[in-house]
Amino acid sequence: MSSVEPAHDSPLTSCAREPIHTPGAIQPYGVLLVVDPESLRVHERAISQPSLLQQHGEPLTQRIDEVLGGVLAPFTALFQQAAIGSSAHVGAVHLDGHGRHQLLVHRSATDLLVELEAPVAGQPGSLEELYPAIRQLMTDIESAATVEDLCQLAAAHMRRLTGFDRTLVYQFDPGWNGVVVAEDGNGLLPSYLDLRFPESDIPAQARELYRRNRVRLIADNNYTPAPLMRAEHHRDAPATDLSLAVLRSVSPVHLHYMRNMGTGASMSVSLVHKASCGGWCPATPCCRGACRTTCAPPASSWARSCHCRSP
């Protein structure tokens, strides 16, 4: 009797099947609390700063208005009213000894996701300083005669907004293969204009994430994820869907890809047409060497991300 060797997935197939919406961790730049929408008790948490636990105690099983020194209590009604599928930037809250954190709330089918994004080092940026850029964009849009002109305008505006060294506009064809149709850069990084990529570079589940969550920021391709920890009563629940979370940890495969490409950090904005992800606008800084240095984007504050999310 002969035995049949089990079939092994190819790397491309494995990548396409990776459950990237349920990574079980966040990027280490803040706090994620996974809350029961009915009881408002925390049943999962990821905290990148151990000193927060030392100062405020373990949030697991506590009500959302009791954790982190009660700083979230004023937003209890908003948490209760969040509609399924919604995401909102609530504002800034001050955590004693840890600065102002941007508060974001997302409602999935089963959970309430409460994120506190840590302050950005250096100039944090503000909505007020973005207004001139927004006005200039509106003026420039009126002068764009073709889709190609509009794509080039988007690339240039994104690079000015973020301070990155290169931005691209990447368009999908009907078979989900991609081509770089516009680019803006300062010469520090090589040109990718007209470069073509196969469908497997951005598989279906990644495109779906880009459709649902239109801005993705990776501040350092060498980060150590902060794992989601669960309360005992929630231990056997299905993996938590972090599709809407800004801090969601990204695929190790993608981080390896970034390192191979010499990309230390990136920010991507989805271009959605008729409810489908028709393309995206990735931006990257120039990070030389082995990418062991944190290449944090100079404009990663929520104010700029919020502007990028605007329709």
Domain of 182, CATH number, reads 3.30.450.40
* Structure confidence by residue, pLDDT tens digits, 281-297: 676 765 432 222 233 44
Q: What phi and psi values does residue 102 have, to the nearest 5 degrees?
A: -80, 130
pLDDT the model gives residue 311: 43
Spatial CA neighbour of 78 closest among 105, 109, 38:
105
What pLDDT does residue 154 have?
87
pLDDT in tens, 103-126: 999 999 999 999 999 886 654 455
Task: Look at residue 19 and tell me if it is in a domain.
Answer: no
- Cα–Cα dist 284/278, whole Å: 20
Q: Model-level pTM?
A: 0.79
Cβ atoms of 265 and 29 closer than 8 Å:
no
For residues 283 and 137, membership in a common domain is answered with yes
- Tell whether 267 and 288 lie within a shared domain: yes
Last residue of a domain, one of 117, 147, 177: 117
Same domain, 295 and 209: yes
* Six token digits for residue 21: 């919406």
In this prediction, the residues of the chain whose per-residue pLDDT falls under 70 are 1-16, 120-131, 274-281, 283, 285-311
Answer yes or no: do 148 and 107 share one domain.
no
Residue 261 lies in a domain: yes
Tell me which residue of 87, 73, 79 sits closest to 39, measured CA to CA.
Answer: 79
State residue 223's pLDDT score: 93
